Every structure is written in structure tokens, then in C-alpha cells.
């Protein structure tokens, strides 16, 4: 079994940097918390549960596209690759490609390295022929693949429409970084396409309230990092659809007047005040093609479902 690389061994994330980022967001005129803090160990498990919900269409449709067009995708990418999984989570999406792409090396990257190591330990036992490593990294800030990872045939895998969490300029920055480190490989990416409000509302505010629990858990994640006194019972999950920006926005709405405090600082929060936690931008195939072109990718192949709810794209 291969040795797992821990977050501290590669791209360390100083706790003070995380604390400062959270504080700056909470003290801003419009309070916000970065969506990366959604993915503590509990949040990661909750998101996995979300992907099983029938209302959460991205996972089901992306899976169906990968299954339907697997031969075309395999032909475009080739075999014996180094598969670099961005935001790997439980690694199951990447695992579904192992039989198709037959990677020689699998690099799983995620912010929540504890959850990642747990998933990769199980995965390695099923695929002893694949060299596997876990890297704890906040690739939204910096993407740096270690020199020990082969440069040839690097295939970056960024599924689940997570690119939508970034603004257009942020997305272009990340995609440019990916292109610069892909060598002669490329990027296999899942992209959520704009659609009617009812489908989006159900996907981000499901009847079982799993997404609500996922969003509210970010407060517990913040409490553990900055020792604040957030009480999830004082907030509710709120979803807005911003047509001007083509995105779904997630918030936590205060249900009463309160004061959030943590060592050295505090912020009053009025009833009805919102804390922004996530954006999920939606694209058209044309707008995503243009974004990939601006980021340095020239050759782009697209596969989608009949309703064009979702697209899988391979860019080189």
C-alpha cells in the first residue's frame, strides 16, 4: 500500500491564515464565509448524502453522461494516465473512471484531508496496482502539483460543477493554473448549465433538508476553527437565484438579533441579516467554451444530456 501524504507534509495551511480569512469575512459589511469551510469531516459526509438525493440532478446526470459516452471519453483521454482529482471528497467519482482510463497514478486533492485519507485508505485496498496519494490543499488559493508527480499524461478531473463556486475571473485563474500544469494532458470537467428556477430550487433546498444541514454545519466548522459561539438554531438555510449573474446563492439567515463573538472580536447580527456561504454559477456551453479558451485550452470536446442540464467537457 502506498504512503498517504498528509496536508502538513504538502502545501501546509497555517491555522492563522484560516482564522484571518474567516474573521475578514465575518467583519465585512455583508458577512460571508468561504464555501471551502463547508467541507469539514461532517460537511463532507453531508455533501455525499446530498449527491444521493433525487432532487440533486448534477450527480445523477453527470454519472449518466460519463456512462453513455465512456468510449468517446476514453478515446479522447487515453490510458495509463496520472489522474489528478480536484476536490476528491470520497473519491467515488474518480473511482468510476478507473476501469475506463486505467490510470497508473491517482492523486486525490481536497481541503478536508482527514476525510480524504479515510476514503483513500479504503480505495487503495481495492486497486493495489495504482499508485495513490492524498494531498491536503486549498487549490482555490494556489494549485501546485509536486514535482514527484509525473508531468506526462496528467489528467485533471474536476467533476460536479464545482467550478461554479468561483466568479468568472476566479474560475479563469484556476483553469489557467490547471492548464499550466497539465503538460501534454488535459482537463475533464463537469459543468452545470442554466435551467428553470424550480429545478434549481429543489436541488439546493431539498425536502429532506439535507442541504440545509450541510449549509448550517459551516457554522460549527467555523466554531471549531476560531472558537466562536455560533448557534445553528439561530439561523435558517436560504436559497436565492440571481438571474443577472446566472447563479444560485446560498445564505444563512439570522432568526433573531444576536451577537457572534470569538476571542478578540465580535459582530452583532440583526434578525433577517444574511451570511453568504456559497455561489453556484451556471453556464451555457458557449460561455464555458469561451472561458476555457481564455484560460489557454484550445481543443474542447463536449458531452451533454438530452435536456442540456449538465455538460462534461474535455479540454486540452
The structural domains of the chain, with segments of one domain joined by +, span: 7-12+46-195+282-315, 15-37+198-281
Q: What is the average pLDDT score of the chain? A: 92
pTM of the model: 0.89
**Over residues 8-31, mean pLDDT:** 81
Does the pLDDT of residue 12 top 60, yes or no? Answer: no
**Percent share of the chain, pLDDT over 90:** 80
Specify which residues 265 forms β-bridges with: 262
Contact indicator for 219, 234 with CB cutoff of 8 Å: no
What tens digit of pLDDT does each residue of 119-138 get? Answer: 888 899 899 999 999 888 88
Q: Hey, is 174 helix, strand or coil? A: helix
Contact indicator for 297, 316 with CB cutoff of 8 Å: yes
User: Considering the domain 7-12+46-195+282-315, what is its CATH architecture?
Assistant: 3-Layer(aba) Sandwich (3.40)
Identify the band that residue 13 occupies on the pLDDT scale cut at 50, 70 and 90: low
C-alpha cell at 110: 481536497
What tens digit of pLDDT does each residue of 173-219 get? Answer: 999 999 999 999 999 999 999 999 999 999 999 999 999 999 999 99
Contact indicator for 144, 130 with CB cutoff of 8 Å: no
| Cα–Cα distance, 151 to 183 (Å, whole number) | 6
Q: Can you give the pLDDT at residue 247? A: 97
What tens digit of pLDDT does each residue of 35-90 get? Answer: 999 999 999 999 999 999 999 999 999 999 999 999 999 999 999 999 999 999 88
Amino acid at each position: 500500500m502506498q504512503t498517504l501524504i498528509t496536508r502538513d507534509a504538502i502545501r501546509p495551511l497555517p491555522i492563522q491564515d484560516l482564522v484571518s480569512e474567516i474573521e475578514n469575512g465575518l467583519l465585512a459589511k455583508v458577512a460571508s464565509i468561504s464555501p471551502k469551510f463547508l467541507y469539514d469531516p461532517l460537511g463532507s459526509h453531508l455533501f455525499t448524502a446530498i449527491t444521493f438525493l433525487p432532487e440533486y440532478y448534477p450527480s445523477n446526470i453527470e454519472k449518466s453522461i460519463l456512462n453513455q459516452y465512456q468510449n468517446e471519453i476514453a478515446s479522447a483521454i487515453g490510458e495509463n494516465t496520472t489522474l489528478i482529482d480536484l476536490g476528491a471528497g470520497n473519491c467515488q467519482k474518480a473511482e468510476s473512471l478507473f476501469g475506463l482510463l486505467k490510470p497508473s497514478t491517482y492523486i486525490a486533492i481536497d481541503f478536508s484531508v482527514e476525510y480524504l485519507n479515510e476514503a483513500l485508505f479504503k480505495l487503495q485496498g481495492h486497486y493495489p496496482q495504482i499508485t495513490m496519494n492524498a494531498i491536503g490543499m486549498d487549490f482555490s488559493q494556489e494549485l501546485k502539483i509536486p514535482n514527484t508527480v509525473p508531468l506526462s499524461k496528467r489528467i485533471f478531473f474536476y467533476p460536479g460543477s464545482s467550478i461554479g463556486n468561483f466568479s468568472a475571473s476566479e474560475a479563469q485563474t484556476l483553469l489557467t493554473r490547471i492548464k499550466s500544469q497539465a503538460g501534454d494532458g488535459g482537463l475533464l470537467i463537469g459543468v452545470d448549465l442554466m435551467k428553470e428556477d424550480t429545478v434549481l430550487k429543489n436541488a439546493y433546498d431539498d425536502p429532506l433538508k439535507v442541504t440545509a444541514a450541510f449549509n448550517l454545519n459551516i457554522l460549527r466548522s467555523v466554531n471549531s476553527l476560531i472558537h466562536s459561539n455560533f448557534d445553528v438554531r439561530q439561523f435558517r438555510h436560504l436559497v436565492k437565484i440571481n438571474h443577472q449573474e446566472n447563479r444560485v446563492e446560498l445564505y444563512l439567515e439570522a432568526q433573531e438579533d444576536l451577537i457572534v463573538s470569538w476571542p478578540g472580536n465580535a459582530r452583532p447580527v440583526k434578525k433577517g441579516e444574511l451570511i453568504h456561504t456559497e455561489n453556484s454559477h451556471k453556464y451555457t456551453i458557449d460561455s464555458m467554451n469561451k472561458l476555457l479558451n481564455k484560460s489557454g485550452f484550445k481543443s474542447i470536446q463536449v458531452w451533454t444530456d438530452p435536456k442540456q442540464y449538465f455538460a462534461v467537457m474535455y479540454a486540452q
